[in-house]
Amino acid sequence: MKRILKGMRGIKVFKNEPLKDYCSLRIGGKVRYLIKVYNKKALLETLEFIKKRRLKFLVIGEGTNILFPDEGYNGVIIKLMGEFRKIKRTKNIFLCGGGVLIKNFINRAVESGYGGMEFLAGIPGSIGGAVKGNAGAFGKAISEILSRVTLLDLKGEIKMINRDKIKFDYRFSNIPDNAIIIESEFKLKKAEKKIIKRRIAEILRMRWQRQPRGLSAGSFFKNPRPLSAGKLIEECGLKGFRVGDATISKKHANFIINLGRAKAKDVLKLVRIVKKKVKEIKGVELEPEVRIIK
């Protein structure tokens, strides 16, 4: 199978890759095939190959909001590279490939003298994942600056969908899980570079005052609005609680930190304990924000 895939242009194939190398938690067994795809034609051919062989697959960005299983993944992981990491600008319109890093989008906007995306500063990961999960911070979300997305479905059809045709909510969009975001278009506002940079610096300062360093997947649970997941967990006395090498951060209780050798089973056990405790004490059902792969 690897030999067949290697005959396709525009891809790189890796067999039995350790998934811990492809996520910010640094947890996960091996994936059967990891394929880096560099253009749309290669992506279409890869999907056709996967469909014919009835393989399961995932498309990942930088793996900053994901927990892979210890057993690995018996399928295909697709990582968007090449043309999917390009940014095109026409005046205040920025067209970002699905694999563009959020930080690169921010840098390009600042260089061009456009603002409105400052709240994304410090959020790791790629544009595709950010749009799918409606990433945001400080009361703002990426859907607020989005004008349209281009999706590739399992039938190989490419569709451009306007922002008003997509349902967005807190850390949610109704973009199908089996659709691949290949491009996203954003509309920004002209602004002075020094003002944009000042806003970004302030947002980063606030972010690092509140959030811990270390191996994590960011905020693990969604905030059950208007409440704060971190505050609920802290009030249940769980700060610093540990299972194996997975621990609740002492700085911010909505962060699960891998101290170095944590397994997915440790994190999942910790998640079950947190959910049970918060439900018993606070009467609130917490929902993971992190994507848990099974």
Give catalytic residue positions: 171, 219, 289
Amino acid at the residue 89 = R
Contact present, 127 and 97 (Cβ < 8 Å) = yes
DSSP assignment, residue 28? Answer: -
DSSP assignment, residue 288? Answer: B
**Length of the chain, please?**
294
H helices present in 78-225, as ranges: 102-112, 127-132, 193-210
Structure tokens at 183: 């491009």
Nearest alpha carbon to residue 60 among 45, 44, 42, 73: 73
Contact present, 131 and 184 (Cβ < 8 Å) = yes
